[in-house]
Amino acid sequence: MLVLILAGLVVFGFITARQIAKELPNPEQFMSQPVTQSTKIYDRTGETLLYEIHGEEKRTVIPFDEIPDYAKKAAVAVEDKNFYTHPAFDWRATARAIITDILKGGAVQGGSTITQQLAKNTFLTREKTIQRKIKEIILAYWLERNYSKDQILNLYLNQIPYGSNTYGIEAAAKTYFDKSAKDLNLAEAAALAALPRAPGYYSPWGPHADELESRRIYILEQMKNLGFIDEEEKQRAQSVKLKFAAKSIGSIKAPHFIMMVRDYLINKYGEDEVEKSGLKVITTLDWKIQQSAEKAVSEGAARNEELYQGKNASLVAQDPKTGQLLALVGSRDYFNEDIDGKFNVANQGLRQPGSAFKPFAYVTAFEKGYTPDTIVFDLPTEFSSYLNECLLVNINFSDKNPHCFHPENFSHSFQGPVSFRTALSQSINVPSVKVLYLAGLSDTVKTAQDFGITTLTDPSRYGLSLVLGGGEVKLIDMVNAYSIFSQEGIKHEQSFILEITDSQGMTLEKYHDQATQIIEPQYAKLINNVLSDEESRRPLFQNSFNLTVFPDREVALKTGTTNDFHDAWAIGYTSSLTVGVWAGNNDNKPMQKHAGSILAAVPIWHAFLNDIFPDYPEEVFNRPDQITPSEKTMLNGNYLDPSKQIHDILQYVDTNDPLGPLPTNPENDSQYNNWEAPVRAWAQTQLITNN
DSSP letters of 238-289? HT----PPPS-TT--SSHHHHHHHHHHHHHHH-HHHHHHB--EEEES--HHH
Residues 6+ apart with CB under 8 A from 207: none
pLDDT above 90 coverage of the chain, percent: 60
Which DSSP helix (H) or strand (E) runs through 460? none
User: Mean of the pLDDT values across residues 625-629?
Assistant: 92
Q: How confident is the model at residue 226 (pLDDT cuts 50, 70, 90)?
A: very high
pLDDT of residue 396: 45
Integer Cα distance of 474 and 479 in angstroms: 9
- 109 burial level (CB within 10 Å; 0-12, 13-18, 19+): middle
Q: Which domains does the chain have, with CATH numbers?
A: 1-34+67-159 (1.10.3810.10), 35-61+252-349+474-520+543-627 (3.40.710.10), 161-250 (1.10.3810.10), 633-685 (no CATH)
Local structure of 684: helix, strand or coil: helix
- Candidates 190, 115, 201, 211; CA nearest to 160 is 115
DSSP track, 49-82: EEEEE-SS-EE----GGGS-HHHHHHHHHHH-TT
Taking 60 as the threshold, does the pLDDT of residue 211 lie above it?
yes
Higher-pLDDT residue of 494 and 200 is 494
Q: Where are the alpha helices (DSSP H) in 542-690?
A: 597-600, 602-612, 672-685
Local structure of 498: helix, strand or coil: strand
103-107, 261-265, 508-512, 651-655: least confident range: 103-107
Integer Cα distance of 210 and 190 in angstroms: 14
User: Mean of the pLDDT values across residues 129-142?
Assistant: 68
User: Mean of the pLDDT values across residues 533-537?
Assistant: 96
Q: How confident is the model at residue 416 (pLDDT cuts 50, 70, 90)?
A: very high
- Candidates 86, 80, 92, 82; CA nearest to 117 is 80
Integer Cα distance of 237 and 504 in angstroms: 36
- Candidates 584, 542, 540, 576; CA nearest to 558 is 540
Q: How confident is the model at residue 504 (pLDDT cuts 50, 70, 90)?
A: confident
User: Mean of the pLDDT values across residues 661-676?
Assistant: 93
User: Are residues 165 and 56 in contact, defined by beta-carbon separation less than 8 angstroms?
Assistant: yes
pLDDT of residue 410: 75
Residues 6+ apart with CB under 8 A from 247: 205
pLDDT of residue 118: 72
Taking 80 as the threshold, does the pLDDT of residue 32 lie above it?
no
User: Are residues 135 and 124 in contact, defined by beta-carbon separation less than 8 angstroms?
Assistant: yes
Q: How confident is the model at residue 408 (pLDDT cuts 50, 70, 90)?
A: confident
Integer Cα distance of 184 and 187 in angstroms: 8
User: Are residues 508 and 344 in contact, defined by beta-carbon separation less than 8 angstroms?
Assistant: no
Higher-pLDDT residue of 93 and 606 is 606
Give the best-scoring range by mean pLDDT among 255-259, 400-404, 603-607. Answer: 603-607
- Amino acid making up residue 394: N
pLDDT of residue 86: 77
Q: How confident is the model at residue 52 (pLDDT cuts 50, 70, 90)?
A: confident
Q: How many of the other CB atoms lie within 10 Å of CB of 435?
A: 25
pLDDT of residue 398: 42
Helices 186-193 and 169-177: crossing angle in degrees, nearest 10, is 110
Taking 60 as the threshold, does the pLDDT of residue 91 lie above it?
no
User: Are residues 545 and 603 in contact, defined by beta-carbon separation less than 8 angstroms?
Assistant: no
Q: How many CA atoms lie within 13 A of 75 on its CB side?
A: 28
What does the longest C-alpha to C-alpha distance in the chain come to?
Answer: 131
User: Mean of the pLDDT values across residues 323-340?
Assistant: 94
The DSSP 8-state label assigned to residue 465 in this structure reads G
Local structure of 508: helix, strand or coil: strand
User: Mean of the pLDDT values across residues 124-129?
Assistant: 58
The DSSP 8-state label assigned to residue 306 in this structure reads H
Integer Cα distance of 8 and 673 in angstroms: 111
Higher-pLDDT residue of 275 and 546 is 546
Task: Using a cut of 0.75, tell me whether the model's pTM lies above it.
Answer: yes
List, for residues 306-331, the tens digit of each pLDDT value.
Answer: 999 999 999 999 999 999 999 999 99
The DSSP bridge pattern shows strands 161-163 and 58-59 to be unpaired
List, for residues 511-525, the tens digit of each pLDDT value.
Answer: 999 999 999 999 999
User: Are residues 609 and 602 in contact, defined by beta-carbon separation less than 8 angstroms?
Assistant: no
Q: Is the dihedral of CA 41, 45, 46, 48 positive or negative?
A: negative
Q: How confident is the model at residue 249 (pLDDT cuts 50, 70, 90)?
A: very low
Integer Cα distance of 74 and 625 in angstroms: 73
How far from the centroid of its chain's Cα atoms is residue 320's Cα?
A: 16
Nearest 10 degrees: Cα torsion 281, 284, 286, 290 = -90
Q: How many of the other CB atoms lie within 10 Å of CB of 31?
A: 11
User: Are residues 547 and 534 in contact, defined by beta-carbon separation less than 8 angstroms?
Assistant: no
User: Mean of the pLDDT values across residues 206-217?
Assistant: 87
List of long-range contacts for 387-396, beta carbons under 8 Å, 24+ apart: 387/673, 387/674, 387/677, 391/674, 391/677, 394/681, 395/677, 395/678, 395/681
Interior angle at CA 441, CA 440 and CA 442, nearest 5: 95
pLDDT of residue 382: 87
Higher-pLDDT residue of 453 and 641 is 453
Integer Cα distance of 319 and 324 in angstroms: 5
The residues with which 561 forms a beta bridge, in sequence order, are: 568
- Candidates 309, 324, 308, 314; CA nearest to 294 is 314
pLDDT of residue 27: 60
User: Are residues 148 and 33 in contact, defined by beta-carbon separation less than 8 angstroms?
Assistant: no
User: Mean of the pLDDT values across residues 339-359?
Assistant: 94
Higher-pLDDT residue of 422 and 9 is 422
Q: How confident is the model at residue 395 (pLDDT cuts 50, 70, 90)?
A: very low
Local structure of 603: helix, strand or coil: helix
Integer Cα distance of 161 and 195 in angstroms: 8
Higher-pLDDT residue of 526 and 204 is 526
Q: Is the dihedral of CA 34, 35, 40, 44 positive or negative?
A: negative
User: Are residues 327 and 286 in contact, defined by beta-carbon separation less than 8 angstroms?
Assistant: yes
Taking 60 as the threshold, does the pLDDT of residue 391 lie above it?
no
pLDDT of residue 684: 86
Taking 90 as the threshold, does the pLDDT of residue 96 lie above it?
no
Mean residue pLDDT of the chain comes to 86
pLDDT of residue 601: 97
- 254 burial level (CB within 10 Å; 0-12, 13-18, 19+): buried
- 640 burial level (CB within 10 Å; 0-12, 13-18, 19+): middle
